[in-house]
Every structure is written in C-alpha cells, then in structure tokens.
Amino acid sequence: MSSMSKPIILFLYSVFSILSIISDAVELDTITTTLSLSDGQTMVTSDGTFELGFFSPLGTTSTNRYLGIWYKKISNGTVVWVANRDTPLTDTSGGGVLKLTDGGVLVLVNSTNTIFWSSSNSSSNSSTHSPVAQLLDSGNLVVKDANDAANGQNFLWQSFDYPSDTLLPGMKLGKNLVTGIERRLWSWKSGDDPSRGDYTFGLDVSGYPQLVLLKGSVEQYRSGPWNGLRFSGSVGLKPNSIYTFHFVFDQIEAYYGFDLVNSSVFSRLVMNQNGIVQRFTWNYNTKNWIIYVNAPADNCDVYGICHAYGSCSIANSPACGCLDKFVPRSQKDWDKADWSGGCVRRTLLNCHNESSNGFLKYSGVKLPDTRSSWFNSSMTLEECKAVCLKNCTCMAYANINVTAGGSGCLLWFDDLIDIRELPESGQDIYIRMASSELVSEAGSKSNRKKRTKVIVGLALLAGVLMLGLTLALYVWKKKHKQRKLKRGERSEYSLEQGRTNESHKEDLELPMFDLATIANATNNFSINNKLGEGGFGPVYKGILEEGKEIAVKRLSKYSTQGIDEFKNEVICIEKLQHRNLVKLLGCCFQGEEKMLIYEYMPNKSLDLFIFDQTQGKLLDWPKRFDIINGVARGLLYLHQDSRLRIIHRDLKASNILLDVNMIPKISDFGVARSFGENETGATTKRVVGTHGYMSPEYAVDGIFSVKSDIFSFGVLVLEIVSGKRNRGFFHPEHHLNLLGHSWRLFKEGRSLELIDAPLGEDSCSLSQVLRSIHVALLCVQQSPEDRPNMSSVVLMLGSEGALLQPKQPGFYTERTFPEMDYYSSSRQTQTTSSVNEITMTVLEAR
C-alpha cells in the first residue's frame, strides 16, 4: 500500500478535498479498487461549498439512494449533480459504495457488488497507474492521474462533462467537436425524482450554434445565435455584478459558460422539470435562492410562436404579426389568432435573375432559427450579401458578430422561424425580397405597426388637405371680396416688399405673390413672354424685380374648368421636394386669377428636344440616359418616398422640364392623385391624361394606379431613345405604333435600329440603350401586374443583371388604341385642344 502514500500527501497538500481512502478496499470481480466511499460518508470541498455523498431527494418518502453533489455551506441539500439518476440504489440498508478502480473508473456498487453506475463510458484510458478522484472546489468530481497533477486540467473523467440539470460556474454547456462529448442540461422528472425528465437545454451546432431548449425532440425555446455580446434573443444576458459569461466557438469546441464575479455570491443555471431554464442567485439575507432570470421569459420566447416570417412583439396584443412586406398565409386563420400558417411574401420571389431580387433590412430583431444556416466568420457583410444573392434558396443574411461595426456572415437557407422584435437589443437581418418591394425606407416593422403608421399618415394627410383647402377657401373669399372693392388695384395683401403676403405665408408655407407683381414680371402677360399652353391655360415667363426668372402658369380667367386641378396642384406640389420635380415658388390667388409660380426652366421641355431633328442633336445619349434616370428617380419619389404618395397620371415628354444643366424635372401635377400606403390605385369616371401615354386599363376602364404611370414612363423612354412620338408614329411597313414597333424590333434582335438618327450608334453606350429599351418594354406591358414598379425600374436601369423577357405590350397598334371609344356616343369628350400633346379630360356619362 505504499503506493498510496503519494496521492495522500498530495491531497493533504492540495486545497482540494479528496475521497476518503479506505484501506480494506472491497474486491470487485476483476477490478482492483483503490478508493471507495460508502453511503453515510461524504466529502466536502476545501471551502465547504459542495458536498459529495449519497442522498434521497428531500421531502420525499422515497428510499431510493443516489450519489450526488449538493451545495453544503449555503444551502444544504440543493443538488447540482446526480451520478446514477436513472439507476437508483434501492438497497435501503445503505449498502451503496463509490469505488475508483485501478484503471481510473468510478463505479457505484451495492452490497452485492452489482454495478449501478460507472464512469467507464468515458474516454478514460486505462494506462494510468495512480488514478485519484477529487472533488474540486468548483463542484467538479474528477478522476486524474496523480502523477499528472501538475497539469491540473488533464482529467481522465469529470462530472462537469456529464451535467444533470444544473450548470455551475466553470461548466461548459455545449459540444466538443473533436471528441463529440455533448454537455446539455437535462431536467429532473419531478422535484423528487432525479431521473431524466422531458426537457433538455443545450447547444445546437447543426447550423451556427445556438442554445436550444427541447421537450423530447421538439423545440421549446431558442436563445438565438451568439453575436459577440450575447445570444441574439437572450435579453436577460447582460453584463452584471454577479457573473461573467462567455461563448467559445472554435475548431475544437463550442460552448457557453459563466463564472462568478465574487466566489461567495453564488449563481447557477437550472433546466427545471417544467420546461423553464432558470438562473438562481443565493440571497444571504433571506437564505434562499432567488430567480434571477427565466427562459422562456414570455410568450414571444415560445419557439416559432408566429411561425414562418412571423414576428412576435411582446408589446402587442396579439403578439404575432407578419414581418413588414409579408402577409398572413391565411388571413382568416390569422384573424382567429391561429398563426400556424405563418406569413408569406406580399410579392412573391422570382428568381429568374439576380436583379429581380434584393434584400431588405430589418432591424431590432432576434435572429431566426439558425439550424439551416451557413456561416463564415471572416466574411464582410458585402461579401455575405453577394453570396446570398447568388443562391436563390438563401433567404437572408446577417453579420455574425455585431461588435466593432459588425463582421462575419450568417446565411439562412430555409423559411425564417422564430423572429421576435427586440427594439433595444435586437440586431439587423437582411431578408430576400422581390426588387419591387425594395424601397428606401428600412427597418423591421410588423404589419400592425405599419398599419398604425398608415393610419397616422392618413390622418396627417387628411389634416393637411383640410387645412390647405380651408386656407385656400379663406384666401379666395377674402380676395374675392377685396377685388370687388378695388378691382385692378394693388391689393392690400401686397406688402412693401411687393411680393409676399406675410400673414398667409405663415399659414400656407407657400409664398403668395400678388397679381401686380406677376403682371409686372410677365410684362402684363405679354404674348412675347408666353412659353406655351398648358392643359388649363397659358404659361408665361417672368422676371421678378430682383432678377429671378419664373414661369407663371395662369389658369384661364374665364374658365370654370381646371380649378380643381389647380388646387390639387398647389396642395400636391407644395409638399414635394425632389431634384427631379419642378419647384413651386408660390402662387397667386386674386379674384378670378389663379396662378402658380414655378422656377423657370431655361431649356423648357423635353419634347422640344427629342422630337426635333436639330434640337435633338443637343441631347447626346449620356444626357438622354441621365434624363431617363432622373425622371425615374422623380417618379420613384412620387410613388414611394414622398409624404403624399402621388400618382402623376399625366407623365409625358412635354411635362418633363429641363433646367440649365439638362436635369429633368417632372412638372404639372394638375391631375395627380395622392394615395394611401395600402392603396395601389383607384378608379375614376373622369379619365384625364394624354393619348399615347395612357395605359390600357386607365384609358379604357378608368383604373389608375402607380402602374399607369409606369406605362407612361415606358412610352416616354421609348420616345427618348427613338426621337419619335408614340402617338402619330408612322412606319411604312406596318400599322404598329412606337410600342408595337419597338416590340417587333426587340423580338427580332434589332432594337438598336430604334435609336434616334441624330444620336448615331457611335455616341451611345449600346448596352445602356438596349437596357433602356428592354426596361421600357417591361413598363408598357398590357397587364399592370406585369409592369415593374418604380424602384425596380431604377434598379434595373442602374444594374447589369439579366432582365425578364417582356411580353407583347399593351396598345401596340394605332388600331388597338381605344380613342374610337372616346368619340362614341356614350362618352362625351372634352378636350381643351386638338393638339396631340394636350392633356385631355374625358367625362363619362354614366
């Protein structure tokens, strides 16, 4: 027995407690045992915190005996580890003994030497000559080679590798990727039965690692992936004064662990038998364990409660909503709080080519289930996006690590499940979306949130409109009265400055010009100052006293028609600010005079260039392409980004004005319509627009939407490229209009023949030309659904990706153009002019 003295000395010397050594060791069949601990004997750690021994669960009449470790000093009886949880000793005579064999294996035997439990399934190698077992201060029961003691951590076996339901400081919750040892917490069956219950809590490493709570094999709760600071969804995991935590993920292992800040302030994590992971801390004052945090903590922590693409927000009731741009798969079920169908994209994905897709950023969320994820920790967000974009089954991407500006790449290859809103601690994810859904606004909002926003927006809009109308009415009335008194004289509204009406400027924001100022500026509306004829009256050039050039749109004095349009334009454009929209400087309402004052555009309108052989030469291809893009951005602003979302309804070459730098400005909002965020359009009995630019559904059925503007835009682009008007287009070989002609050339691969002669092919970027024609043909599709929206158009024009193939356009021959309908007896036509380009109004007699 002299070989035993060495470990004994070592143990006494060490701070660790040791297993008592019983010299008259029981002989086990073939194994020589070196140590043993019988029922009734215990071992206590050197600091008295933990105790190892035999126990029966507290508060039960059960006579089952278990070998376990429990807190001793602070809370006698809080069991943290059980060796034979599924194989209790039923021998009531206290015959259980823990033995350590010469080979370094711990075995639990009863009085008849039947093995009830052993550590032999561990990876211990039997080559050791002097195994010792120790209960470390941490509560870890270890077996190691006494000769290897200096090494400290080189254990042959340790209880920390086989957790029960409790994670202690220093334990690893996770997996060794080399040995395959997986450490997960497994709940007790009940408070008095330590056998394995229903719930486990561990690290799932099938995708990017995340902690998962399972009932059997069914997910109950998910922490979300580690993001460098915490698990994405574990709100309760914050730096604190009690414990520090860490997550290790490398080639060898992946685990979560924690350490105490002050070794006498205790904390433990338990997977309880009711399916809740609880962290407890010891309260010295009340002498009990208090719950520090629970997971799942609330309804939104219930795994996948809102199902695919649903988003849970605990602030809402019900908590489930769809992610922005997603809608319930079944609204009916959803309304009954049955979320099992989840949500689907409002606009379905189309993966024909890369440019038909993009990604929308959602912020402040718990990242979805990563089990079908792929990752690379060294990639940047841009590289990540590029990889995701290439594979259409890639549904989303995100940074792995949110610290230091973000790094790493996480990709999802399945429906996104278990997202919740975490406004403060959530992170960003980029979800694949049809290009048409990609607007500049970003952020993660559930539908419901969106809805409130819309309602607020609509209320605001209604308020603005009411205010505007009331003010306009007030101003008109006042001026009308005043005009009766001093007709033709300067009104008292014209102040010393000679231009603005201060009192109303405040209310309307829009400067009011007085009639005299405008008359003066335009040389009393001299014919020489006339720039042209708009839909509802002439437009004059004027020069204000300070030298500023203006354009004055004057509503015909004796016309009753157009007042609505005029008001509409004031209300519309006052709220709009964009470099590709013409800027309204002010207005003038005086008696029957109604005028709008714009910034003056020295280059007048686009039609004067593109439809003129000589002037056309001044607009080379790069300028034309800039104009196309500028108009597209202006329209995008109107459709999606402006405060009032606007359908222009009368987009045409003569309504595109050009400033001194040939920057295009969309003008004439007389017939524009504002629409709510949830509306896509409306139907009108009063079809207003210009032949050649009107979409089929609008011209025929009066249905207008952003897609009718898209049609007009497509026509405009073809006109810019070809230098020909759609309306009145003539070709000796066929009766097609410009749309039909373009389509025909496109089909035959001869699109380049469309290029305007003064342009010449040489000056052109042919790929830009072809792309413009292609996009234009997509815009003039017969069916509104087939037309892209403006954000896609802007994207398509600016990118290189492949495009969808257009079908035959709407209104592709002169004959299919429904103008004949207009002049049939059932409709009364009122055009303000017979000139091609003049906006016309068709009043339907229904």
Ligand X SMILES: *[C@@H]1O[C@H](CO)[C@@H](O)[C@H](O)[C@H]1NC(C)=O
Query: Catalytic positions, please?
Result: 650
Q: For ligand X, which stretch binds (CB under 6 A), given 138-146, 258-266, 425-433, 569-577?
A: 258-266
DSSP state of 638: I
On whether the CB atoms of residues 76 and 70 are closer than 8 A, the answer is yes
Q: Is 763 in the site for ligand X (CB under 6 A)?
A: no
Q: Is 400 in the site for ligand X (CB under 6 A)?
A: no
Give the shortest CB-383-to-ligand X separation in angstroms: 5
Tell me the per-residue interface mask from 326 to 365 with ligand X, x by CB under 6 A, - otherwise. ----------------------------------------
Contacts of 659 (CB under 8 A, 6+ apart): 599, 601, 602, 603, 665
DSSP element (H, E) containing 745: helix 738-747
Q: Hey, what are 639's tokens? A: 């459709």
Give the shortest CB-413-to-ligand X separation in angstroms: 4
Give the shortest CB-381-to-ligand X separation in angstroms: 12
The residue with tokens 């000796």 is 732
Beta-sheet pairing, 645-647 with 97-101: unpaired
* Of residues 265 and 531, the one with the C-beta less far from ligand X: 265
DSSP state of 800: -
* Of residues 387 and 471, the one with the C-beta less far from ligand X: 387
* Of residues 308 and 411, the one with the C-beta less far from ligand X: 411
On whether the CB atoms of residues 726 and 740 are closer than 8 A, the answer is no
* Of residues 153 and 378, the one with the C-beta less far from ligand X: 378
For CA atoms 783, 784, 786, 790, give the dihedral sign: positive
User: What radius of gyration, in Å, describes the C-alpha atoms of the chain?
Assistant: 39
DSSP helix/strand/coil, 472: helix
Q: Which of 2, 61, 121, 262 binds ligand X (CB under 6 A)?
A: 262
Please list, residue by residue across 622-647, b when 16 or more beta carbons sit within 10 angstroms of its beta carbon and e when fewer do. Answer: ebbbebbbbbbbbbbbbbbebebbbb
- C-alpha 335/C-alpha 448 separation (Å) is 12
The residue among 592, 560, 585, 558 whose CA lies nearest residue 570 is 585
Q: Which of 217, 378, 440, 661 binds ligand X (CB under 6 A)?
A: 378
CB 126: neighbour CB atoms within 10 A? 13
* Of residues 262 and 317, the one with the C-beta less far from ligand X: 262
Give the shortest CB-390-to-ligand X separation in angstroms: 7
Q: For ligand X, which stretch binds (CB under 6 A), given 229-237, 378-386, 539-547, 829-837?
A: 378-386
Give the shortest CB-380-to-ligand X separation in angstroms: 8
DSSP helix/strand/coil, 458: helix
* Of residues 407 and 813, the one with the C-beta less far from ligand X: 407
Q: For ligand X, which stretch binds (CB under 6 A), given 178-186, 373-381, 538-546, 778-786?
A: 373-381
Q: Which of 44, 115, 265, 745 binds ligand X (CB under 6 A)?
A: 265
Q: Is 393 in the site for ligand X (CB under 6 A)?
A: yes
Give the shortest CB-105-to-ligand X separation in angstroms: 38
Q: Is 379 in the site for ligand X (CB under 6 A)?
A: yes
Beta-sheet pairing, 419-421 with 310-312: parallel
Q: Which of 179, 244, 264, 524 binds ligand X (CB under 6 A)?
A: 264
Q: Which of 240, 376, 680, 808 binds ligand X (CB under 6 A)?
A: 376
- C-alpha 846/C-alpha 844 separation (Å) is 6
- C-alpha 777/C-alpha 783 separation (Å) is 12
Q: Where in 124-153 is the site for ligand X (CB under 6 A)?
A: none
* 307 φ/ψ angles, rounded to the nearest 5 degrees: 65, -170
Chain CA centroid to CA 366, Å: 12
Q: For ligand X, which stretch binds (CB under 6 A), given 58-66, 371-379, 705-713, 776-784?
A: 371-379
Degrees, nearest 5: CA angle 428-432-437: 100
- C-alpha 78/C-alpha 57 separation (Å) is 10
Give the shortest CB-401-to-ligand X separation in angstroms: 14
Give the shortest CB-378-to-ligand X separation in angstroms: 5
Tell me the per-residue interface mask from 491 to 510 with ligand X, x by CB under 6 A, - otherwise. --------------------
* Of residues 370 and 737, the one with the C-beta less far from ligand X: 370
Q: Which of 292, 413, 476, 525 binds ligand X (CB under 6 A)?
A: 413
Q: Which of 391, 403, 526, 577 binds ligand X (CB under 6 A)?
A: 391
Give the shortest CB-207-to-ligand X separation in angstroms: 11
Where would I find the beta strands (DSSP E) of 494-604?
A: 530-534, 537-543, 549-555, 584-590, 593-599
Residues at the interface with ligand X (CB under 6 A)? 262, 264-265, 374, 376, 378-379, 383, 391, 393, 413
